[in-house]
């Protein structure tokens, strides 16, 4: 039995004050949601306020990126020990916006996941194909490359969470159908079994991300290999995100 995870990626939205307000509201709304891990990932600047607002609640706090070195001359970057010291427990790695705009590669994903695990935090590692790759019939080949080059070494680590995020579905309002998500999630689980063994594959949480909304999460979560969601836009509003958490729990009980 895999405990579902619902994680919110706030991207470059919300000041520290706004983040604190939203998380306080969210904590009240999800106080009764057991059996689902709930994570909110605000911008770096809001992490201390987010951790403070979430203290003693069911809500965990994560960062959206990190550097792979512990310290060094890397202007503008943030190291995992800095994130850990603030009380965050998760780090999103390899988001498609990082890959598209900031030069993230499978090789840097591999190093970042290693750094997150070394600090005792949970990486939420993102993989996913572009529309062009899907239309060219390359979806599974692209995912296999991203897993082999970015994640293979870490698959046996229980803290690792994988998020399948088709790039064409992120922020577009176009969700993958439950069948499309299930096809990819089943493929990722099978590949994990091949690379790290069946018990690892059976325990790996694979989230779906891409325009998840309160009215689409239930059908996605009804699929056997969908273990939760990575939610962008719909996680910015506490009520909408809480609804997604409730639906996720209802579906996997």
DSSP E strand boundaries for 24-121: 37-41, 59-63, 90-93
CB nearer to ligand PEP: pick between 15 and 172? 172
Looking at the Cβ atoms of 30 and 212, the one nearer to ligand PEP is: 212
- DSSP label at 12? T
Specify the DSSP element, H or E, that contains 207: strand 205-209
Smaller CB distance to ligand PEP: residue 108 or 196?
108
Catalytic residues: 95, 165
Give the list of residues 6+ apart from residue 31 with CB closer than 8 angstroms, or none. Answer: 57, 58
Distance CA 38, CA 239 (A): 14
**In the complex, least distance from residue 112 CB atom to ligand PEP, rounded to whole angstroms:** 16
CB 104 within 8 A of CB 98: yes
**Residue whose Cβ sits closest to ligand PEP:** 232
Measured from the CB atom, the residue of 63 and 201 that comes closer to ligand PEP is: 63
Q: How far is the CB of 11 from ligand PEP (least distance, A)?
A: 6
Q: What is the CA radius of gyration of the chain?
A: 17
Shorter beta-carbon distance to ligand PEP: residue 165 or 223 = 165
**94: closest CA among 122, 66, 62?**
66
- Residues forming contacts to ligand PEP in the complex (CB under 6 A) are 9, 11, 165, 170-171, 209-212, 230-234
User: Can you tell me whether residue 140 is helix, strand or coil?
Assistant: helix
> Nearest approach, Cβ of 120 to ligand PEP (angstroms)?
24
Measured from the CB of residue 36, what is the shortest distance to ligand PEP in angstroms?
A: 17
Q: How far is the CB of 198 from ligand PEP (least distance, A)?
A: 29
**Residue (of 117, 225, 131, 233) closest to 173 by Cα position:** 233
Q: What are the percentages of helix, strand and coil residues in the chain, rounded to 5?
A: 50, 15, 35
């Amino acid at each position: 039995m895999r405990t579902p995870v619902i994680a919110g990626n706030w991207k470059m939205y919300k000041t520290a004050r706004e983040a604190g307000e939203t998380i306080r509201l969210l904590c009240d709304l999800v106080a009764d949601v057991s059996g689902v891990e709930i994570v909110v990932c605000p911008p770096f600047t809001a992490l201390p306020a987010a951790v403070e607002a979430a203290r003693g609640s069911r809500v965990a706090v994560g960062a959206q990126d990190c550097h792979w070195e512990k310290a060094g001359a890397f202007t503008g970057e943030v190291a995992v020990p800095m994130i850990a010291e603030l009380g965050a427990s998760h780090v999103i790695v390899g988001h498609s916006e990082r890959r598209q705009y900031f030069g993230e590669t499978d090789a840097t994903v591999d190093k970042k996941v290693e750094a997150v695990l070394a600090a005792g935090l949970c990486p939420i590692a993102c993989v996913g194909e572009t529309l062009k790759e899907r239309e060219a019939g390359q979806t599974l080949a692209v995912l296999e490359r991203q897993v082999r080059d970015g994640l293979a070494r870490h698959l046996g680590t229980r803290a690792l969470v994988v998020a399948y995020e088709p790039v064409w579905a992120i922020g577009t309002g176009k969700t993958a159908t439950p069948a499309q998500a299930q096809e990819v999630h089943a493929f990722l689980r099978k590949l994990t079994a091949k690379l790290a063994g069946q018990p690892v594959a059976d325990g790996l949480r694979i989230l779906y991300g891409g325009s998840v909304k309160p009215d689409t999460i239930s059908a996605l979560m009804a699929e056997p290999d969908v273990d939760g969601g990575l939610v962008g836009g719909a996680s910015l509003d506490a009520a909408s995100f809480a609804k997604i958490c409730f639906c996720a729990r209802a579906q996997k009980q």
